[in-house]
Amino acid sequence: MAAASFPTREEVDFVVIGSGAAGGIMAKELSTAGHSVVVLEQGPHLQAADFKHDEWGYDHNFELTWGKPQGHPQTFRKSEQDTAEERDMVCGYAHNVGGSSMHFSGNFWRFRPIDFMEASVRGSVAGTNFSDWPISYEDLEPYYTKVDWEIGVSGLQGPWDPPRSREYPCPPMPIKGPDVLLERAAKGMGLNPYPAPVAILSQPHNGRPGCIHCGFCNGFGCEVNAKSSSLVTMMPLALDSGNCELRTHATVFRIETNEQGRASEVLYYDAEGNEQSQRTKAVVLCANGAETPRLLLLSASSRFPDGLANSSGFVGRNLMFNGYTSVMGLFDEPVNGYKSIPATRVIHDFYELDPALGFYGGGGIDARHPSRGTPMGFALMSGEVFGGASWGSEYKRNLAYQFSHVAAFDGHTTSLPLDSNNITLDDNVQDRWGRPAIRCTYMDHPDDLSTMQWFLDKTTELMEAAGASNVVGFYPENGQEGNVHLLGTCRMGADPDSSVIDPFHRSHDVPNLFLCDGSSLVTSGRGQPTMTIMALAFRAADYINQAAQRNEI
């Protein structure tokens, strides 16, 4: 069926803002249920043929993520007492149909039952907003399984895996060298490594081909459509429904409300820079954990003076990045970690650290190539990292050896939700449209830093047990100054005083405004949030479709 086209001055059933991990699912679920849907996406509709192994274009020129060079500066400060500095990029996300699901690593861990009730099991953490979710793993499990099959996930069900109602649709990806080294070391230490669940196809599924192991996943678009992004899984179905119109290069700057306090129009700049306004019966905001709070704050009015849906003051607060650590070492034989997907094994034995350690935290460990397998990225870091020459013939010799003989063991860890870590508007810096820039204020909680230190020590132990030489490791011990995980900034909760959306993603303040993306998360999980964002989107879409049927939007 041909893609739909709707006049802006007539009400559609839904405007979905953003076409990423959550927005793509919303567009597909709402449009195939028969609702008229307009999707507004800031970026272009790139396809597999547009993607290249282009480190210079993507990593240095921000062609996929955009940043200051494209007219989208952001500002950063560690605390509210500091003046925020303008940066090329702080909160990173891809600007295109499919959003960051297009360029992410594909690591696709489910959250575990403990993630949803950890505050009551583990106990609260003073000075933080650490709390239970209003939903349980059991509530979300059917939707995790829906993601597995509709999006396409490769993995292996086993005793190490969170409880699941159906097996993975695709078997696990073939093991890589770094993961063999990790698995052997881990088993020697009595741990339980298992095949990493990934949103990358190990064999054809839903009409898409299996992975060709080119190695350019993380930060790149898949050139064969084997990565299970919204771009290639959901948006084609939405557009085929005949009920969905996708408008690219559409930059939303305001959600307008009517006299009843309901969202009524979405204002945006089109590709030509002209102001447009789409009338709608309801708005589903899926712009990510930085852009969603920004747009709500930009939509302040006399009725909503602190920003839309912000009577709690929680819009933008509780930003969580997840922590990370990395330890690298060199091995005697070619590891060739630059081939194939980022990671094929994971260790979840340290999902919850012992409270007796005196700090809260937990995480997972996987094995990778330290520069995401990219030649330029590794050539730029090689030398300095292992303490050898950084130029000249010795550098060149070392680089050639290290590129194929290196492995990294990485930790992916929890972040606590804090009032002081947040997204606000920076009135001193504007983007190319004149919108106040995203201002990020962030300093990892001491427990988060202790958790990273613990994982660095543990992965160093694993690296040594694996037989590596030249072992070096690091974590951001002075605090992170940016990330691509943008979580918690419009958290879900039953209490309108301490949350922005209800357990079904309806905003507490504006009944026909739904928010779903990384901002919805109550806690950070252990560092791979996309699977949970997608499961939440399927669950929210189910609820919205049912509510629409009852005429209760």
Partner 1 sequence: MSHSRFNRRQFLSSSASLAKGSLLVLSVPAIVTACREASESRQQQAAFANLGAEEAAEFTAIAARIIPSDDTPGATEAGVIYFMDNVLGDPEREPILEALRDGLRELQYQIATEYNLGFFIELDVQQQDELLRANERTAFFNTMRYLTIAGTFSLPEYGGNRDNIGYNIIGFENPGGWAPPFGFYDADYRERGE
Exposed/middle/buried for 88, CB within 10 Å: 0-12, 13-18, 19+? middle
The CA–CA distances, whole Å, from 103 to 51, 65, 124, 338 equal 10, 9, 35, 17
Q: How far is the CB of 169 from partner 1 (least distance, A)?
A: 20
Do residues 449 and 363 touch, judged by C-beta distance below 8 A?
no
What Rg do the C-alpha atoms of the chain give, in angstroms? Answer: 22
Nearer to partner 1, 214 or 547 (CB): 214
- Closer residue to partner 1 in complex, CB, 53/249: 53
Among 10, 50, 57, 80, binds partner 1 (CB under 8 A): 57
> Cβ distance 472 to 386 under 8 Å?
yes
To partner 1, the closest distance from the beta carbon of 426 in angstroms equals 20
Q: Which two tokens stand for residue 337?
A: 């970690």
Q: Which of 55, 161, 245, 426 binds partner 1 (CB under 8 A)?
A: 55
Strands 37-40 and 14-17: parallel
175 to each of 220, 371, 408, 410, how far by Cα in Å?
A: 21, 19, 15, 16
Residues 468 to 507: which contact partner 1 by CB under 8 A? 468-474, 476-478
Closer residue to partner 1 in complex, CB, 278/374: 374
Q: With respect to partner 1, which residue has the nearer C-beta, 174 or 207?
A: 174
Binding of partner 1 at residue 204 (CB under 8 A)?
no
Query: Does residue 203 belong to the site contacting partner 1 (CB under 8 A)?
Result: no
Q: Which amino acid is at 259?
A: E
Rule CB under 8 A: is residue 190 a binding residue for partner 1? Answer: no
Q: Which two tokens stand for residue 415?
A: 């972040």
Q: How far apart are CA 330 and CA 402, in angstroms?
A: 7
Among the candidate windows 23-31, 263-271, 394-402, 430-438, which touches partner 1 by CB under 8 A? 394-402
Residue position matching structure tokens 């260790």: 347
Residue 331 is a binding residue for partner 1 (CB under 8 A): yes
Q: Which is nearer to partner 1, 52 or 166 (CB)?
A: 52
Coil, strand or helix at 424: strand
* Cα angle 310-314-319, degrees, rounded to a multiple of 5: 135
- Name the minimum Å distance from CB 464 to partner 1: 7
Residues 165 to 184 in contact with partner 1, rule: CB under 8 A:
174-177, 179-181, 183-184
Write down the least CB distance from residue 364 to partner 1, Å.
Answer: 18
Q: Is 88 in the site for partner 1 (CB under 8 A)?
A: yes
Nearer to partner 1, 429 or 544 (CB): 429
C-alpha–C-alpha distance, residues 224 and 17, integer Å: 27
Structure tokens at 220: 């790149």
Choice from 156, 189, 381, 553 touching partner 1 (CB under 8 A): 381
Closer residue to partner 1, CB minimum distance, 276 or 404: 404
